[in-house]
């Protein structure tokens, strides 16, 4: 991949505003406000390890913009967490919430840690310790965290419980993505992948596809990647390749996705927090240790993540981490459609190459907005105390995803711009309306001229 610092990721993300501003109806002051996060907190989290030693972990929480409502965004546990990355992710969340039309702004958080190296008890202490440090920075009406990379419903449950202890009252609406018994929403587990699936189904409708003719590759086989794969497989799409952090597998005839999910999610023991296996643990090799049949249709030839991106497929779904498609590899990516389930997987320079090649990119702030949309549903249910059925959640999500996809697609066609620029334009219009409603220079500079003079009394 091309060499870029994580601070460049934030500047690259902000730079997309300038391109969209040309097509948006907004005040320049509104654009300026969106260039800077509203607040950022860095914390140190002391954790007593199982061997009795003390270890200090660094964590961050960013609130980018709360003009349209409380900030909203995940917390990731990853060794490469960096403040520049967290700022970029919070900015993307601001735009994502505006695209979906939900009353949230963007937030994000993270802890520098390899969670797979922690025991279950150490992971719980870290999760609770992070909330202890940021408790005054978050809240149901201020900033509402959610799961992200290497965090999950169980971790969200710990975090909600810790915040509730600090506040001396039960506060399920402070965290979303929780387990169902702790106030989670039905339909939240597959929301990100399902939102992307609804986008692909709209492309299918507009382009009159036959699903069985469409070859799909998915980079990233965590929660979002698994669910979009499952839903597409159920509709007879041919998913020929999947990958995770350790590598991938390819099978020209298509993979048995339910079986691949089963194999991927096997754990070494029932107490494991994370799956112990990779999708590439069982290639066509006749291995005996894993007791897999080499003819199993969930097994294929081992490939790298980089090779997966360059496969000759119709739809490429990056569902891993940011900055995966850059000027170093974009010219070798033949897929005609890229659906970004990950946050920021494509650099702006690579976007320009895709535009020249005529590649349609369904951008992250639209394609993966299903997660934050159903998080909004969960927050709403927590605050009302009334919970919806899974079918209600799915239908409400489908309504939003279909509406916003078609609005952005039509704007792209009308303005003759790429779909990412159209999505940012759509977001900017909504953000600008909210910012201008509070007053900008356009209002205040004309205040004196337009203030009516008092009528003299007689």
Active site residues: 108
DSSP secondary structure letter of residue 116: G
What's the gap between Cα 394 and its chain centre? 18
| DSSP H stretches of helix in 326-418 | 348-357, 364-367, 370-384, 390-415
Whole-angstrom Cα distance, residue 385 to residue 402?
28
User: What φ, ψ does residue 243 adopt, rounded to 5°?
Assistant: -155, 160
The kind and range of the H/E element at 233 are helix 223-234
3-state secondary structure 439-453: CCHHHHCCHHHHCCC
Whole-angstrom Cα distance, residue 66 to residue 366?
19
Whole-angstrom Cα distance, residue 229 to residue 283?
19
CB contact at 8 A, 198 and 399: no
- Give the dihedral sign, CA 276/279/281/282: positive
Buried b (16+ CB within 10 A) or exposed e, 278-298: bbbbbbeeeeeeeebeeebeb
């Amino acid at each position: 991949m091309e060499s870029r610092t994580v601070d460049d990721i934030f500047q690259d993300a902000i730079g997309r505003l300038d391109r969209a501003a040309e097509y948006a109806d907004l005040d320049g002051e509104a654009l300026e406000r969106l260039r800077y996060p509203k607040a950022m907190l860095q914390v140190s989290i002391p954790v007593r390890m199982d061997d009795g030693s003390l270890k200090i972990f660094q964590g961050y929480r960013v609130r980018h913009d709360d003009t349209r409502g409380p900030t909203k965004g995940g917390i990731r546990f990853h060794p490469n967490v960096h403040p520049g990355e967290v700022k970029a992710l919070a900015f993307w969340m601001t735009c994502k919430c505006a695209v979906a039309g939900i009353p949230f702004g963007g937030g994000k958080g993270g802890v520098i840690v390899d969670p797979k190296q922690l025991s279950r008890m150490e992971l719980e202490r870290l999760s609770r310790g992070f909330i202890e440090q940021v408790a005054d920075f978050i809240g149901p009406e201020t900033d509402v965290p959610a799961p992200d990379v290497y965090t999950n419903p169980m971790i969200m449950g710990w975090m909600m419980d810790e915040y509730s202890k600090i506040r001396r009252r039960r506060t399920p609406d402070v965290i979303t993505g929780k387990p169902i018994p702790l106030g989670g929403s039905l339909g939240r587990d597959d929301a990100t992948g399902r939102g992307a699936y609804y986008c692909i189904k709209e492309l299918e409708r507009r382009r009159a596809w036959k699903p069985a003719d469409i070859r799909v590759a998915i980079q990233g086989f965590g929660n979002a990647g698994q669910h979009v794969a499952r839903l597409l497989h159920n509709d007879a799409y041919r998913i020929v390749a999947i990958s995770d952090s350790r590598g991938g597998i390819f099978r020209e005839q298509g993979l048995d996705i339910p079986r691949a999910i089963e194999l991927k999610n096997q754990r070494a023991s029932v107490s494991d927090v994370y799956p112990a296996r990779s999708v590439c643990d069982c290639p066509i090799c006749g291995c005996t240790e894993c007791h897999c049949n080499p003819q199993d249709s969930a097994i294929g030839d081992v490939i790298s993540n980089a090779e997966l991106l360059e496969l000759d497929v119709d739809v490429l779904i990056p569902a891993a981490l940011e900055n995966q498609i850059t000027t170093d590899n974009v010219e070798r990516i033949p897929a005609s459609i890229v659906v970004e389930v990950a946050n920021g997987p494509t650099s702006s320079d690579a976007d320009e190459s895709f535009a020249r090649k005529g590649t349609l990119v369904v951008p992250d702030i639209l394609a993966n907005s299903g997660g934050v949309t159903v998080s909004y549903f969960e927050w709403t249910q927590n605050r009302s105390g009334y919970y919806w059925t899974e079918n209600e959640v799915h239908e409400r999500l489908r309504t939003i995803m279909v509406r916003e996809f078609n609005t952005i697609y039509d704007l792209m066609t009308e303005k003759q711009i790429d779909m990412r620029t159209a999505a940012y334009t759509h977001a900017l219009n909504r953000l600008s309306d909210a910012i201008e409603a509070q007053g900008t220079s356009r209002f205040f500079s004309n205040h004196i001229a337009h203030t009516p003079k008092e009528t003299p009394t007689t």
